[in-house]
Structure 1
């Protein structure tokens, strides 16, 4: 299994994962603007991109699905797995693109232009019971809503490897910063808490994230950190909003007080995530 840095904003911000097996399989699809980077990354791993058999998408957000159509262009027989409720947004991404523009604001320009995926390539996945057998490895799709209603984590039992997607949060190793997975429009604190507990029951040996890379510590520590940061950010963001009465002022305080990403990361990364975190928590509490 290989991780491929897709170069979103900066290095070490977003990644996809390639299983080099009988059926080469990519977990998550990255942003549309990174399609060429992803294809080159697959080649660098010694796999012919046209042989890609499966693309497993954790959820419909454009930083995870954006390059799907370009990957189908490269591998026309590619099966693209996504929750059945959001599968239509791959076939016709216009509504997804518009909602993403509202959520991301000026940062959306960096995502690139997301094209449609042919309907015959899309595999709609129900909440439970889907395992993708790819050879020596199998990938079990675990419905774990909270970041979004359609959200899946992926369990690879042969390696005891958990692809946590955005159930646990975001780990920026270069800054040793952990962020909760708050975003627009459907972030749910309670559902994320349940998802963390469910995934902890798998007792993984390894945990990998789309944002970003492999967790370097003990897996139990990742679950505990996820719980702690989920509620710490919740309390602090509500406090900032109570103090300022302003969404924009709250975002500034989140960037100044709760995030410490720049340096080493591009300042746009801090701006992007402080905005999403603030909007996600305030929307959850009915304040925006």
Structure 2
């Protein structure tokens, strides 16, 4: 649809982590890079779209978290004419990914980082473009507008494609896994994962995108969703509910665990109301990683808010 091809990067589980290939008049732009392990999938997708690696002009990163950007350096090796566009705050981390690697290693361990993300390699400095707010990428006359959209991360952009009346949203427009689709449409939750979540910025970024009246959003987690106005409202409600939960447990010695439990109850309750028929345990199992990361992220925000 509109020359947009979804690439399942293979990270985590099937239909968990997406990237996109946008094709216009024989040239291509890739949005998000998955992990180093994902590179063969990108090359297959390029071929399936009738292109060659040399036909790709751009790799655009929504932000530099490793499930979105960890494979960028390796992918760029295979795309001889491509430039990489990234938020100005993220550019240095693509040129020298040592801080990203150290951060992920500190959280997950060296073995897990190697297993899940592969060897993370730098992108040559002369191939990196800083996509500041309002930066427009011209793909054969097709304008891809980069907007600064903090809230999930301060190095986050969303990319508006006027031709499809859609945004490529990275993580700022939440997570919507296809397992939770019902007759009522897609189900969505916010992502507050470490370490730069800010609820006011998240609300503002969602509202900024909505002013473009998009017909659809292309999420990294996972794929195209419509019913955009309803989903935006769902995200606003849940951000407020999650902040209220966090504040309620702010003084608890085991606050992260209590917050995670209440987040699980919040998501299960909303999923059931949405018409999801699977049991609470199955819903929680599918959201287990996101519940943990959301709890961690909102605890970091609590501490920052307290210190401010």
Output the TM-score relative to the length of structure 1.
0.89
Aligned pair 1:52/2:69, yes or no? no
Q: How many residues align?
A: 283
1:195-214 mapped onto 2 (5 Å cutoff): 195-214=205-224
Partners of 1:170 and 1:209 within 8 A in 2:
yes
Match of 1:41 among 16, 34, 45: 45
Aligned pair 1:257/2:265, yes or no? yes
1:162-241 mapped onto 2 (5 Å cutoff): 162-176=167-181, 177-216=187-226, 218-239=227-248
**Residue 251 of structure 1, CA deviation:** 6.2
Aligned counterparts of 2:294 and 2:254: Cα–Cα separation in 1: 15
Q: Secondary structure at the match of 1:285?
A: helix
Aligned counterparts of 1:135 and 1:257: Cα–Cα separation in 2: 47
Aligned counterparts of 1:69 and 1:110: Cα–Cα separation in 2: 16
Moved more, 176-185 or 131-140: 176-185
Q: Secondary structure at the match of 2:208?
A: helix
**Residue 274 of structure 1, CA deviation:** 1.7
Aligned counterparts of 1:165 and 1:174: Cα–Cα separation in 2: 19
Aligned counterparts of 1:249 and 1:193: Cα–Cα separation in 2: 25
Question: 1:119: which partner in 2?
Answer: 125
Cα distance, 1:224–1:276 mapped onto 2, change above 3 Å? same
5+ residue gaps, structure 1, are none
Partners of 1:57 and 1:80 within 8 A in 2:
yes
Aligned counterparts of 2:189 and 2:52: Cα–Cα separation in 1: 35
Aligned pair 1:4/2:27, yes or no? no
Q: Secondary structure at the match of 2:121?
A: coil
Partners of 2:137 and 2:145 within 8 A in 1:
yes
1:258-277 mapped onto 2 (5 Å cutoff): 258-259=266-267, 263=282, 267=285, 270-277=287-294
5+ residue gaps, structure 2, are 182-186, 269-279
**Larger radius of gyration between Structure 1 and Structure 2:** 2
Aligned pair 1:285/2:302, yes or no? yes
Partners of 1:240 and 1:253 within 8 A in 2:
no
**Residue 163 of structure 1, CA deviation:** 1.4
